[in-house]
Amino acid sequence: MLAYLGMAFVLFITIFPVYWLAQNSFKLDIDIFAVPPVWFDFSPTLKHYEAAFIGQPFLTYAFNSLAIAMATTIVSLIFGTMAGYALARFEYPGQWRYQISFWILSTRMMPPIVTIIPLFIFFNFFNLLNTRLAVVVAYTAFNLPFVTWMMKSYFQDLPPELEEAAMVDGDTRWGAFLRIALPLARPGIAATAIFSLILAWNEFLLALILTQTERSMTLPVGISGRVTQYTTHWGEISAAGFLASIPIIIFALIVQKHLVRGLSLGAVKG
């Protein structure tokens, strides 16, 4: 009984903040600022959604976020899948395989703020600041260790016999990778792709530094810009924040089965 009561409390704490954000996005300003807060009895409005997406360039931000997330995912999947396959299947002389795997994993531990200054200078030098390309390059670099590790563990779980059979039948190693291993790893690739999309969609710090113009900003950066020192456009940012959350929640629910494995870099067998 006590367990159920505790559970109910935990569920309430989990859900209430999300509900509160969503509810505020449908309130008129007068109800948002009401003291005591209005719980149920307010007339819902779409005013803030209109303001966010017609009066403000949130649609541009959302498009940037989507384009950047997709490009990042495609590029890191191509390179990361190849690297993951190589580390899962090939032998390397001496300790190299272990050393390389280890090094790739350790780059995942780098704090972004530490590398952002040189990256900023680098992109500035090539005149790439405030472009989507710069953000894609930075995100790809940070996503690659993750994708490589996910794919390495998927390929390690696949039996190598099928590829060997194909090679005995005259296929090349590369052909066996393309025609046998890749199709078999499809569920793993799909899960990794969605994770990569989520990481890129949610990222804030790198985008904040690399994009400062309205045309190039991502959604998180655009939303944060509406929180100013003196006024915060509560209705608008609630609407944008709530909308930015929905696709991710749906995505994440789809890959729920793979969540554990993905988040722990494939190190924990879920």
Partner 1 sequence: MVRSESGTLTAQLRPGGGLERWAERHLRILMLAPTLLILAGLTLFPTVYMLTAALQKVSPDPSVPREFVGLGNFARMLTDPELHLAVRNTVVFTSVAVTLEFLLGLGLALLFDKYIRRLNFLKTILLVPMMIPPIAVALTWKLIYQPQFGVLNELMYRLGLPAQAWAGDVNLAMATIIAADVWEWTPFIFLLMLAGLASLPSEPYEAAQVDGASAWRQFWDLTIPFLKPVIAIALLLRIMDALRLFDLVFILTVGGPAGATETLSLYIFKVAFTFVDIGYAAAISLVVLFVTVGFSTWFIKRLRLAD
| In the complex, minimum distance from the CB of residue 56 to partner 1, in angstroms, rounded to a whole number | 15
Q: Which of 51, 57, 79, 214 binds partner 1 (CB under 8 A)?
A: 79
Backbone φ/ψ region at 56: left (φ over 0), alpha (ψ -120 to 50), beta: beta
State the binding string over 2-21 for partner 1 (x if CB under 8 A, else -): -xx-xx--xx-xxx-xx-xx
Q: Which of residues 250-269 bind partner 1 (CB under 8 A)?
A: 251-253, 256, 259-260, 263-265, 267-269
Residues 53-72: x where in contact with partner 1 by CB under 8 A, - otherwise, as a string: --------------------
Task: Pick between residue 32 and residue 132 the one whose CB is nearest to partner 1.
Answer: 32
Residue 74 binds partner 1 (CB under 8 A)? no
244 touching partner 1, by CB under 8 A: yes
The CA distance from 65 to 217, in Å, is 8
Q: Does 30 bind partner 1 (CB under 8 A)?
A: no
Do the beta carbons of residue 215 and residue 92 sit within 8 Å? no
When the beta carbons of 72 and 132 are compared against partner 1, the nearer one is 72
Q: 207, 217 in Cβ contact below 8 A?
A: yes
Separation of alpha carbons 146 and 191, rounded Å: 12
Q: Please report, as residue ranges, which positions from 165 to 194 form the binding site for partner 1 (by CB under 8 A).
A: 167-168, 170-174, 176-177
User: Can residue 140 be called a binding residue for partner 1 (CB under 8 A)?
Assistant: yes
Closest to 137 (Cα-Cα) out of 153, 104, 152, 115 = 115
Residue 86 binds to partner 1 (criterion: CB under 8 A): yes
Q: How far apart are CA 74 and CA 64, in angstroms?
A: 15
Helix 112-125 vs helix 132-157: crossing angle, to nearest 10: 130
As given in the structure block, the two tokens for residue 118 are 């040189």
